[in-house]
Amino acid sequence: MESLLKLAEKIQDKDLRKKVIDYIKDKKLKNKHFEKYKREDLDKAGSYFSVGNASLGPIERDVVHHTTVLTHLVIQTAKIIEAGYGIKLDMDALVAASICHDIMKSTEYNRDDSGELEPTGISLDHTMLGTAELYARDFPEEVIHIVASHAGEAGTTPPRSFEAVIFHHLDTLASLMEYYALGYSKINEKLKKIVEEKMNEMGEKSE
């Protein structure tokens, strides 16, 4: 969570920065009908990948780490696009949306006593709920649009601003990188175990 608070400092507009910081810290959902759902601590927030090759099995992801890497990626890419194509991007909206876009995953999944991710059973997905929460918290339309459209053309609100197009593609890119990086380390761990077991077996036989 500290990394998100640090990134929020990059938002120039004071009012928007405050809204983002409040949203990071304040776990209470704005709609009283949803009070029965708990928002997990962001430092423990996780979910499962919806991108990548399902053959690697369910892989858990870390919401804060994803958001932190992605926000840095968004800032650097936006600067290159501004310089390369001579367009002015709304950097405040991009940073604010990036920090906020997956926060509601912490209401889709909570940790049980053993630390496992448990679906809460909430009927709205994190994009819909996040959009509604930002609307209720009086965020600017540009920020809400980026969050609402982060699933891309297939979503109910397709990206219709430069910022939203950039964000959707970078979110997908970062998610795929994480999926394969984590997936391969999972496979490598398994391979390491198999090799160790074989080596132990061979050692026992030669004794």
Question: Which parts of this chain interact with Fe ion (CB under 5 A)?
Answer: 102, 171
Query: In the complex with Fe ion, which residue's Cβ is closer, 106 or 203?
Result: 106
Smaller CB separation from Fe ion, 92 or 171: 171
Using the minimum distance from each CB to Fe ion, give the nearer residue, 152 or 203.
Answer: 152
Rounded to whole angstroms, the maximal C-alpha distance in the chain is 72
Q: Which is nearer to Fe ion, 50 or 53 (CB)?
A: 50
> Minimum distance between the CB of residue 126 and Fe ion, rounded to whole angstroms?
9
Q: How far apart are CA 30 and CA 115, in angstroms?
A: 27
CA distance 136 to 148: 14
**Separation CA 184–CA 43 (nearest Å):** 24
The alpha-helical segments, DSSP class H, found in the chain are: 2-8, 14-25, 63-85, 91-100, 105-108, 126-136, 141-148, 162-206
| φ, ψ at 87 (rounded to 5°) | -115, 155
Measured from the CB atom, is 87 or 181 closer to Fe ion?
181
In DSSP terms, 130 is beta-bridged to none
Distance of closest approach, residue 101 Cβ to Fe ion, in angstroms = 6
Q: How far is the CB of 70 from Fe ion (least distance, A)?
A: 6
Residue 182 CA to residue 50 CA, distance in Å, equals 14
Q: How far is the CB of 175 from Fe ion (least distance, A)?
A: 6
User: Buried b / exposed e across 167-176, counting CB within 10 Å, b at 16+?
Assistant: bbebbeebbe
Q: How far is the CB of 63 from Fe ion (least distance, A)?
A: 8
Q: Which is closer to Fe ion, CB of 45 or CB of 89?
A: 45
CB of 35 to Fe ion, least distance (A): 26
Which residue reads 């928002």 in tokens?
Answer: 39
Question: Residue 61 in 3-state DSSP?
Answer: strand
